[in-house]
């Protein structure tokens, strides 16, 4: 217990978890006192405590709305903070959080589907539907990882793919039924509005039970920070401990989601803030993360209340990201540790096999090119376009095909560079925040100009991406571009964007539908000039891919080893991060934010037996191009004359093959 209470402060930072908790408590307490004093005068408090059975209207609002809301924010924040700390400890990944294993996405999809197709189920209660969706997603994740003893890498990847699948399905439904899902949007960003104490009575005993279970697992969880071999040598049953600890965290997260909706960012931010402020060991983070999570959510919610009645419907989850992300950015320079290079080792490979895989993939892409140009739907149904007819429609079809292939190739290379550079399997191009910055630029121009044209949107997106990249580099420059600092800075900046988008969606402005369409990633507006530029950059990137091979091979062994062999670590990291950002920004500007391709293309290649840097970069480019080309073709034809954005369908194109690989490989 003394270890859990130890602060282990960074002497250079001057900030400890206790200081941070005090600051959050001071802000939350001040906001609460101000709000309660403004809304409820002293006479109301006297009435409340003088005769609890005969309240007037103001006392009833205080007792059944204001005070329960404070209690729920504290318990929900503590629950998410504890769940996030457990997941980051078990999965040994600073980017893990309650949404990592797909529970929130499963709950959102279940509620969306029920609202559209089985509205009668809503009479049972949203809690039951959300809990069912969360449980289903968790079962799929555990099932995919069971044969590998629930290894952290497999759990993370399985959780990501389930989250992407559920999120893509929900996004497709949202695009076609935007007007019917407004209440789901509010729920999906977390709303703490209360009418009685029932939610508090629902959450509190479950949080206490989960806290008790995690307290019993403190020693095993401390050992879980070691590698699997070391933990097994100490007699730890990895599968059992992971199942119990992750099951507890998942159940706790599902309870919160079913009660108040998806309150994002708190689970990740609470554990990250604990670590950034000096809680180095897993015991310290498990102690401080629930406290910081409770204070963060409480402070954000009371800030919303302080804004006044006109803002009372703003989901607290959106404001939490807007408050917690700047706090993470402020503490980020104090981070001293780096991510262990968990993906550093290059297994011995048969070189001819790698190039054979690449040759087969390239052949498949070339063979599919002609049917994608010639086969499609028309008002009369499916149609094979003859050469004479194709000349009339080629000017519309080739820019989309070239843009999709080029975007997929660039994101595949970017994902490979980022995952090898950081050693983190959850690292994907958009996590650097560049896509978020570009999207933020589009948001600004859409709301500032009455009818912005495509050139104006591209310029705004480019400015937003450049400013975000500059901010990320400025935060990480003093640490020689530490991979963990770059990732956390990107997550924090991206969370600010997510909070703003969630807020805009919930206010019901019709312009947000344009944003949703662009954010889904579509090639429908690509011009021939756009496609030519994208192809040139993609081909240049593939030609330059062999150049940083030495850096990629050495940096994955750690900064100390790289310096020992003469590598300028700061210079190498800055160049590779800049290249990754450029390869992410160009597809985002032309097509829109794309999530699946850069994340999963490198994993698909690794599972197919490709490990060395050059074949992995080139192979990921081809896989990304294949996924995007097929997704764009399906998006144009499945619901003709309506179009499904390729960015959403990319998950369904590459996902089945990826899941098949996961199930077919026992190690």
Tell me, rounded to whole angstroms, the distance of Cα 81 from its chain centroid: 16
User: Same domain, yes or no, for 431 and 288?
Assistant: no
Residue 16 located in a structural domain: no
d(CA 372, CA 364): 12
Whether the per-residue pLDDT at 313 is higher than 60: the answer is: no
User: Same domain, yes or no, for 136 and 246?
Assistant: yes
Residue 394 located in a structural domain: yes
What is the DSSP secondary-structure string of 77-100?
Answer: HHHHHHHHHHHHHHHT-TT--TTT
Residue 18 located in a structural domain: no
Lowest model confidence (mean pLDDT) among 4-18, 53-67, 537-551 = 4-18
CB 629 within 8 A of CB 401: yes
The boundaries of the domain holding residue 578 are 351-436+521-664
Per-residue confidence (pLDDT) for residue 205, from 0 to 100: 94
User: Same domain, yes or no, for 556 and 652?
Assistant: yes
CB 121 within 8 A of CB 189: no
Whether the per-residue pLDDT at 406 is higher than 90: the answer is: yes
Q: Which of 268, 303, 331 is the last residue of a domain?
A: 331
For 243, residues 6+ apart whose C-beta sits below 8 A from its C-beta are 142, 150
Residue 206 located in a structural domain: yes
Residue 500 located in a structural domain: no
Higher-confidence residue: 237 or 597?
Answer: 597
User: Same domain, yes or no, for 313 and 372?
Assistant: no
pLDDT band for 346, please (50, 70, 90 cuts): very low
Residue 504 located in a structural domain: no
d(CA 127, CA 359): 50
Q: What are 76-92's pLDDT values in tens digits?
A: 999 999 999 998 888 87
Lowest model confidence (mean pLDDT) among 2-11, 60-69, 327-336, 418-427 = 2-11
User: Same domain, yes or no, for 233 and 102?
Assistant: yes
d(CA 169, CA 88): 27
Distances (CA, A) of 367 to 335, 354, 372, 630: 49, 20, 10, 12
Residue 253 located in a structural domain: yes
User: Same domain, yes or no, for 301 and 193?
Assistant: yes
Tell me the CATH number at 370.
1.10.3470.10
Residue 191: burial class (beta carbons within 10 Å; 0-12, 13-18, 19+): buried
User: Same domain, yes or no, for 87 and 194?
Assistant: yes
User: Same domain, yes or no, for 196 and 326?
Assistant: yes
CB 150 within 8 A of CB 91: no
d(CA 144, CA 135): 14
User: Same domain, yes or no, for 316 and 360?
Assistant: no
State pTM to two decimals: 0.74
User: Same domain, yes or no, for 250 and 390?
Assistant: no
pLDDT band for 213, please (50, 70, 90 cuts): very high
For 105, residues 6+ apart whose C-beta sits below 8 A from its C-beta are 99, 137, 162, 163, 164, 165, 166, 167, 170
Token pair of 626, please? Answer: 């294949």
- DSSP code of 276? H
d(CA 123, CA 126): 8
User: Same domain, yes or no, for 315 and 375?
Assistant: no
Q: Which of 331, 365, 400 is the last residue of a domain?
A: 331
Residue 503 located in a structural domain: no
Counting the structural domains of the chain, the total is 2
d(CA 370, CA 366): 8
- DSSP code of 265? S
Instruction: Tell me the average pLDDT of the chain.
Output: 78
CB 450 within 8 A of CB 394: no
Lowest model confidence (mean pLDDT) among 318-322, 504-508, 638-642 = 504-508
Per-residue confidence (pLDDT) for residue 341, from 0 to 100: 44
Number of neighbouring beta carbons within 10 Å of residue 50:
11
User: Same domain, yes or no, for 182 and 272?
Assistant: yes
Token pair of 20, please? Answer: 């941070």
Specify the long-range contacts of residues 124-132, CB closer than 8 Å, at least 24 apart.
126/187, 126/258, 127/258, 127/259, 128/258, 130/254, 130/257, 130/258, 130/261, 131/107, 131/254, 131/255, 131/257, 131/258
Q: Which of 278, 298, 331 is the last residue of a domain?
A: 331
Per-residue confidence (pLDDT) for residue 158, from 0 to 100: 80
């Amino acid at each position: 217990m003394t270890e859990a209470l130890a602060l282990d402060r960074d002497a250079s930072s001057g900030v400890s978890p206790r200081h941070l908790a005090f600051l959050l408590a001071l802000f939350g307490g001040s906001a609460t006192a101000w709000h309660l004093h403004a809304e409820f005068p002293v006479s109301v408090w006297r009435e409340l405590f003088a005769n609890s059975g005969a309240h007037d209207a103001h006392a009833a609002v205080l007792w059944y709305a204001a005070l329960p809301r404070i209690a729920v924010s504290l318990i929900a924040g503590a629950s998410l903070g504890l769940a996030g700390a457990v997941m980051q400890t078990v999965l040994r990944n600073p980017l893990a959080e309650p949404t990592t294993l797909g529970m929130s996405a499963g709950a959102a999809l279940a509620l969306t589907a029920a609202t559209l197709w089985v509205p009668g189920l809503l009479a049972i209660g949203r809690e039951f539907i959300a809990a069912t969706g969360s449980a289903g997603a968790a079962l799929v994740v555990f099932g995919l990882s069971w044969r590998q003893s629930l290894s952290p890498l497999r759990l993370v990847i399985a959780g990501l793919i389930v989250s992407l699948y559920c999120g893509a399905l929900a996004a497709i439904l949202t695009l076609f039924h935007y007007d019917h899902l407004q209440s789901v949007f509010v729920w999906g960003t977390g709303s703490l509005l209360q009418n009685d104490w029932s939610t508090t009575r629902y959450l509190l005993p479950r949080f206490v039970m989960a806290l008790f279970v995690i307290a019993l697992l403190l020693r095993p969880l401390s050992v879980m920070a070691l590698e699997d071999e070391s933990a097994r040598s100490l007699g730890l049953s990895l599968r059992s401990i992971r199942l119990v600890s992750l099951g507890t965290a998942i159940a706790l997260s599902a309870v919160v989601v079913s009660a108040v909706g998806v309150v994002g960012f708190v689970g990740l931010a609470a554990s990250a803030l604990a670590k950034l402020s000096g809680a180095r060991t897993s015991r310290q983070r498990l102690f401080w993360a629930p406290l910081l999570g409770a204070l963060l959510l409480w402070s954000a919610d009371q800030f919303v209340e302080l804004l006044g009645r006109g803002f009372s419907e703003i989901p607290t989850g959106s404001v939490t990201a807007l408050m917690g992300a700047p706090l993470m950015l402020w503490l980020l320079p104090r981070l001293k540790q780096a991510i262990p290079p968990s993906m550093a080792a290059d297994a011995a490979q048969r070189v001819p096999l790698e190039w054979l895989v690449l040759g087969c993939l390239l052949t498949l892409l070339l063979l599919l090119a002609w049917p994608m140009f010639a086969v499609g739907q028309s008002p009369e149904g499916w149609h094979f376009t003859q050469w004479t007819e194709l000349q009339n429609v080629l000017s519309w079809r080739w820019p989309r095909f070239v843009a999709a292939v080029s975007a997929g190739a660039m994101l595949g290379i970017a994902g490979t560079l980022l995952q090898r550079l950081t050693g983190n399997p959850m690292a994907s191009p958009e996590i650097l925040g560049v896509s978020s910055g570009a999207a933020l630029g589009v948001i600004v121009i859409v709301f500032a100009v009455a009818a912005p044209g495509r050139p104006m949107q591209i310029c705004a997106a480019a400015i937003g991406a450049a400013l975000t990249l500059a901010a990320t580099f400025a935060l990480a420059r003093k640490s020689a571009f530490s991979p963990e600092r770059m990732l956390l800075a990107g997550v924090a900046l991206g969370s600010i964007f997510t909070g703003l988008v969630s807020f805009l969606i919930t206010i019901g402005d019709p312009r947000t539908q344009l944003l949703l369409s662009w954010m889904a990633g579509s090639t429908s507006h690509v011009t021939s000039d756009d496609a030519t530029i994208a192809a040139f950059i993609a081909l240049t990137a593939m030609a330059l891919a062999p150049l940083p091979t030495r850096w990629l091979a050495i940096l994955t062994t750690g900064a100390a080893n790289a310096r020992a062999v003469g590598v300028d670590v700061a210079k190498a990291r800055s160049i590779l991060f800049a290249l990754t950002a450029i390869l992410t920004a160009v597809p985002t500007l032309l097509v829109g934010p794309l999530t699946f391709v850069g994340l999963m293309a490198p994993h698909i290649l690794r599972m197919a037996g490709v490990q060395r840097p050059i074949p992995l970069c080139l192979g990921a480019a081809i896989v990304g191009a294949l996924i995007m080309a097929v997704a764009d073709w399906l998006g144009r034809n499945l619901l003709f004359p309506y179009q499904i954005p390729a960015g959403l369908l990319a998950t369904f194109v590459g996902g089945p093959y990826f899941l098949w690989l996961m199930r077919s490989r026992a190690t």
